[in-house]
Structure 1
Amino acid sequence: MRTAHVLTTALLTAAALSGTAGAAVADDPSASPGESTAGPTEAGTTFRTATAVEQGVPATADAAAGDYLYWVFPADAGQRATVKAKVRLPEAAGRHGTSTWRLDVYDGLRRRQACMYGMQTRAAAKDTTSVELSCALRTVRSWAEPWSNDPLPGSYYVRLTVVDLPEEDLGQPVRAEVEARSADAGGAHAGDGSLSTPLVPGATARAAEDDENAPKQAAAFAEPDGGWASGWWSDRWIWTVAGGLLGALAGIAGYSLTRGSGRPARVPRGG
C-alpha cells in the first residue's frame, strides 16, 4: 500500500508539471498590434537602418505608399515568433483602386523565412480603411546545419511594403503598426547544440563607424530579456527527472512484489 501511494503521488506530480509546461506551449501570441505599451514611432528604409523594437511592444510609423519599412527584433532559441502588421489607409475618396500589401521576415543572415501560417500578402479594396497581415515563423533553433535554412537565434528583420497599387496612389500617406510576439515552443524543439554567437550582423562595426549614432545602433540590437540563450531550461528537464523518478519507483515496487511472492507460505499448526 505504501508503494502504491508513492507511485500515485509521483504520477500526480508529473501530471501537474506537464500541465504547467503545456500551458506555456499553448500560450499563443495572438494579440493585435497596438494593444501594448507604445514603442518606436518610426521605421527604417533598409536593413541597415531598421528600427529596433522589443517583442511585445508595438511599433508605429507614418509613411507613404510605396515606401519600404523595416524593423528589427531579437528572437532566441526555443521561441516561436509571430509578427503582425496593420496598415491604415487613406480615405477611399482619394484612392483609385485596390492595393496589395506584403509582410516579410528575414533572419540575421538576411534569409527570408517562410511563414508556417498567416496572411503574408493581402489585397485592400478601394473602400477598405485598413489591412492586416501576419506571419508565424518556425521555432528558432539553437543550432542548425550550414546547408539548412532553419531560423537561428539573433536579429529578425520585418519588412512591410505595398507590392501593387494604382500609380496615382503612390506617395499617399499611410500609417503602419507592427508587433512581434513569441510563444515558448517547449522541450520538443530543444536541441543539444548552440551557436557560439547569435546572428546579430555588424552591430559593433556599425556603431564604430559613426559615434553619433552608436547609442541608437546599440539599442537596435538589444538582447532578449535575460540575455541570449536564456531558454536553456525546457520541459525536457522536467520529463527527464519525472521519468527517472517513476522508473526508480517502479523498480522498488517490482522488487517489493517479487520479494513478497517468494516468501514460503505459513502452515497452520495442529491443535
Structure 2
Amino acid sequence: MRCAKVMGAALLALGLAAAPAAADSSPGPSAAKEARSAKGGTSFRTATEIEQEQEITASASAGDYLYWSFPADAEQRPTVRATVELPQAHAAQTWRVDVYDGLRRRQACQWGAQTRTAAPGTSSVELACVLRTVRAWAEPWANDPLPGTYYVRLTAVGLPTSDLGMPVGTGLRVESKDVGGPAAVDGSLSEPLVPGVSMKSGDRGEDPERNAVLSAIEPEDGWSSGWWSDRWVWTGIGAVLAALAGIGGYALTRGSGRPSRVPPGA
C-alpha cells in the first residue's frame, strides 16, 4: 500500500513537470509584425529577403516572375500564402506559387491550393502551400527540406497575350508551425543552406565569385539546429517511470515472498 502511494505521488509530480514542457512545445501566438512593401526579385539571385510572420505587399505586372526568400529552421513546418489582386477586366488567368530550398530544389506541397485559375472578372486569387517539416539532417539522396534559405516564386502560367503587362497587386505571408520533438532526428547540418544572393561592388577584373555575399537573413532566435529537443524531456520521464515500475515490482515480489508467521501453540 505504501509503495502504491509513493508511485502515485511520483506520477503526479511527473505529470505536473511535463505539463509546462508540453505547453512550450506548442506554437504560441506570435506578435504581428508590421506590414511592409517588398517588391519581388526577378530571379533566385535577386530574390527579396523577407521575414516570417510579416505581411508583404508589392505591385507587379502580369507575366513577371516574382521571387522572395525567407529563413526556415529545423522542426518548422512553413506555410506560404499568396494573394493576387487582379484588374477589373481580364481574361481567365492561372496563377502558381512554388517553393524552393537553399539548393534550389523544388519542394512539394503537402496540401494547399498551389495553382488556381481566376475566371474573367474575378477580383483576386488566393494561393497556399504547406511544406513538409524541415529536418535538421537528411541522407544525401533524400529530397527532404533542410534548414536554410527558402525561395518563393509567384507567377502566372498560360497567360493570354491580351493580359501581358497588366498591373496586379500581390500579397505574401509566410508562417511556420513549430512541430518540436516528433520531428527531431539524430544529427544536424554543420551550417544552414544559405547561398549567396547578391554581389559586392568591386573591380571589373576581379573574380565575381569571390565577391558573393551570403544572405544575412536568419530566424529571430538564430539557427537552433542541434541535439536538444523536447524529445529529451519525454525520454527522461519514460526512464523515471521505468525505474519506478521496477522498484514497485521488486517491493511487491519481496513482500509476497515472506513466510507467514505461525501463531504460538498452533
TM > 0.5 fold call: yes
In the alignment, which residue of structure 1 is the partner of 2:257?
A: 262
Closer, same or farther: CA 170–19 of 1 in aligned 2, 3 Å: farther
Aligned partner of 2:231 among 220, 227, 236: 236
Would the aligned equivalents of 1:77 and 1:229 in 2 still touch at CA under 8 Å? yes
In the alignment, which residue of structure 2 is the partner of 1:131?
A: 125
Instruction: Name the TM-score, length of structure 1 as normaliser.
Output: 0.84
| Unmatched runs of 5 consecutive residues or more in structure 1 | 212-216
Paired amino acid for 2:7 = L
Aligned partner of 1:119 among 109, 113, 123: 113
SS at match of 1:100: strand
In the alignment, which residue of structure 1 is the partner of 2:87?
A: 90
Mapped to 1, the partners of 2:118 and 2:140 lie a distance apart of: 39
In the alignment, which residue of structure 2 is the partner of 1:214?
A: none
Matched, 1:8 2:20: no
Mapped to 1, the partners of 2:182 and 2:78 lie a distance apart of: 16
In the alignment, which residue of structure 1 is the partner of 2:38?
A: 41
Would the aligned equivalents of 1:55 and 1:181 in 2 still touch at CA under 8 Å? yes
In the alignment, which residue of structure 1 is the partner of 2:241?
A: 246
1:224 deviation in Å? Answer: 0.9
Closer, same or farther: CA 5–172 of 1 in aligned 2, 3 Å: farther
Mapped to 1, the partners of 2:117 and 2:263 lie a distance apart of: 91
C-alpha offsets along residues 33-75 of structure 1, whole Å, 9 cap, x if unaligned? xx75213432111111111111111211110111111110001
1:231 deviation in Å? Answer: 6.4
Aligned partner of 2:94 among 76, 100, 105: 100
Matched, 1:74 2:68: no
Would the aligned equivalents of 1:65 and 1:172 in 2 still touch at CA under 8 Å? yes
In the alignment, which residue of structure 1 is the partner of 2:207?
A: none
C-alpha offsets along residues 3-62 of structure 1, whole Å, 9 cap, x if unaligned? 323433444455566666666676599x9xxx7521343211111111111111121111
1:268 deviation in Å? Answer: 2.2
Q: Aligned residues: percent identity?
A: 59
In the alignment, which residue of structure 2 is the partner of 1:143?
A: 137
Would the aligned equivalents of 1:105 and 1:156 in 2 still touch at CA under 8 Å? yes
Would the aligned equivalents of 1:78 and 1:231 in 2 still touch at CA under 8 Å? no
Matched, 1:187 2:181: yes
Q: Which moved more, 1:59-68 or 1:20-29?
A: 20-29
Instruction: Name the TM-score, length of structure 2 as normaliser.
Output: 0.86
Query: How many residue pairs end up in the alignment?
Result: 257
In the alignment, which residue of structure 2 is the partner of 1:223?
A: 218
Aligned partner of 2:191 among 189, 197, 201: 197
C-alpha offsets along residues 171-229 of structure 1, whole Å, 9 cap, x if unaligned? 111111111111112222211111111110125xx454469xxxxx9795322122112
Aligned partner of 1:55 among 40, 52, 59: 52
Closer, same or farther: CA 197–9 of 1 in aligned 2, 3 Å: same
Mapped to 1, the partners of 2:190 and 2:254 lie a distance apart of: 53
Paired amino acid for 1:123 = T
Q: RMSD of aligned C-alpha atoms?
A: 2.8
| Greater percentage in helix | 1
1:260 deviation in Å? Answer: 1.0
